[in-house]
Amino acid sequence: MITPVTTGRLPMRVKLAHGFGAVAFGVKDNGFSFFLLIFYNQALGMDAGTVGQVLLAALLVDALVDPLIGNLSDRTYTRWGRRLPWLYIAPIPLAIAWVFLWTPPGGSAPSALELFGIAVCVRLLLSACEVPSISLVPELTADYDERTTLFRYRFLLGWMGGLIMMVMAYGVFMPGPEGLLQAEGYLPFGIFGAVLMVVSVIGSALGQHRLLARLPPERPAPFRFGRAFTEIREAFSERAFLIFAAGALAAYVFQGMTFSISQYLNLFVWQFDRAALNAFPAALLLGAIIMFVIANPVQKRFGKPRGAMICALSGYVIAIGPYYLFQFGVWPDPGAPATVLGLFSVSTALYFCFLVIGNALAITTVICASSMIADVVEAHQERTGRRSEGAFFSGNWLIQKCATGVGIFVTGQVIAASQLVRNAQPGTVPAATLDTLIWLYVGIGGVLVALTAFWLGRFPIGRAEHEARVAALAAAARADREHLTITP
């Protein structure tokens, strides 16, 4: 039976190495969420609604394959353990597929089928990296708080990876608002991201190799589709996981919608100039740093379920505050000259203040929720006798990708409903278009956040339940070893 490496604190080098693997996810998430829609829509001329529909359709393949990747990861039996071989093999083909995503054939808008094919390849190969990587959390430690600490490092470094891409995009590859609307800068953007993905995943595996490279104590049964789907169905029917999934689905849809619509809001509502666009990643990073400071205290004070619920609601109220103030005419003119430090308008500076706090609370919500999955592993093990980290984290990964795709799809429909024309220029968009854009975003977001808080707040595993379960499983494992020792 697989047991965690420790029940206590992990060395700092292990936390950093583990978190470094999430940089690849940050690169992908930043690309898909912030740049992909505006690239294919505004730079290449594809209809925004069509792009959203194609990316959503690509997730149907993930719906079948992602859980199988998790099951295969659970069943991998090598002298390097269950997860590390995946982390050494998958990054290279992922990097190649990532470059192709930003290099359409002929440099013009691809067909819907071509976009569908490359999007499927990227998503599946990223799953082959991310599912084994994140599934290492319950293997590394059984400690209730230390698991959240590992997710703090994953999210901080993942955000840093994504924000590095954003800084490079705004400052090097597609500088200025007009650069985002030109196709030429996206190829070097894709190449840089591909290199960063390879370095992060393989570097993370090397950093954890000495601790995790060991033959699993038991050889799993041979892989069969029937058995795999039975185990997947059994894992996904775990009550605690279903409650988590309901809340996470709503949270990730809102996250995907927020990320993908932010470029439109930044350019056309807040009228960001080059200085504001260059500062935007720094504001997001500051929010991630604040998250790193507050996540563990929030969890220790309120527990994971209540902490997630409180942060989701308060983060939403703060994040959408500027939009209400703008709509009711009490917000500074976004098109006013820069007067704050000679760099930003009052509108931009004030918006960044709301953004930093709202983002910190939103990420803390997701960290508390993600750490819940690790605690489901022992609940399932107690019921079935099997540890299925890969199944549960592939389930979370599937939810996140599907929900992000739904969020991008919703953004596409919101853009289409607002009748925002292609090659629109900041400051010239009709007020009716902006009104539709803002109210649809705020209204849909409010429903999603309410669902997030409702379900995550009802997650049934708290600290006491988890620690009692870990102690009981450890006692049972000791009894099994003693029985084997005395049996002739």
Contact predicate 107/183, CB 8 Å: yes
Position of tokens 């840093």? 160
**Residue 153 one-letter amino acid:** Y
Average pLDDT over residues 211-234: 78
Position of tokens 């902006």? 434
**Residue 94 one-letter amino acid:** L
The 10s digit of each residue's pLDDT in 310-329 is 999 999 999 999 999 999 98
The 10s digit of each residue's pLDDT in 355-386 is 999 999 999 999 999 889 888 888 888 888 87
Does residue 3 fall inside a structural domain?
no
Does residue 6 fall inside a structural domain?
no
Q: Over the Cα atoms of the chain, what is R_g?
A: 23
Does residue 218 fall inside a structural domain?
no
Query: How far is it, in rounded angstroms, from Cα 57 to Cα 63?
Result: 10
| Packed helices 186-212 and 112-134: angle between N→C axes, nearest 10 degrees | 20
Does residue 197 fall inside a structural domain?
yes
Mean pLDDT taken over the chain: 86
**Residue 22 one-letter amino acid:** A
For 75, other C-beta atoms within 10 Å of its C-beta total 18
Contact predicate 10/224, CB 8 Å: no
Contact predicate 259/55, CB 8 Å: no
Domains contained in the chain, number = 1
Full residue range of the structural domain in which residue 153 is found: 12-211+226-486
Token pair for residue 187? 């190829």
- At 416, which CATH number? 1.20.1250.20
Contacts of 351 (CB under 8 A, 6+ apart): 270, 322
Query: How far is it, in rounded angstroms, from Cα 318 to Cα 355?
Result: 8
The 10s digit of each residue's pLDDT in 228-242 is 777 778 888 889 999
Average pLDDT over residues 15-25: 93
Nearest to 411 by CA among 282, 213, 293, 255: 255
Poorest-pLDDT segment among 139-148, 278-287, 476-485: 476-485
**DSSP string for residues in 387-455:** --HHHHHHHHHHHHHHHHHHHHHHHHHHHHHHTPPTT--TT-S-HHHHHHHHHHHHHHHHHHHHHHHHH
Nearest to 444 by CA among 246, 244, 261: 261
Contact predicate 343/472, CB 8 Å: no
Contact predicate 271/335, CB 8 Å: yes
Does residue 217 fall inside a structural domain?
no
Q: What is the pLDDT of residue 480?
A: 62
Does residue 220 fall inside a structural domain?
no
For 230, other C-beta atoms within 10 Å of its C-beta total 11
Average pLDDT over residues 449-465: 94
Nearest to 440 by CA among 312, 320, 313: 320
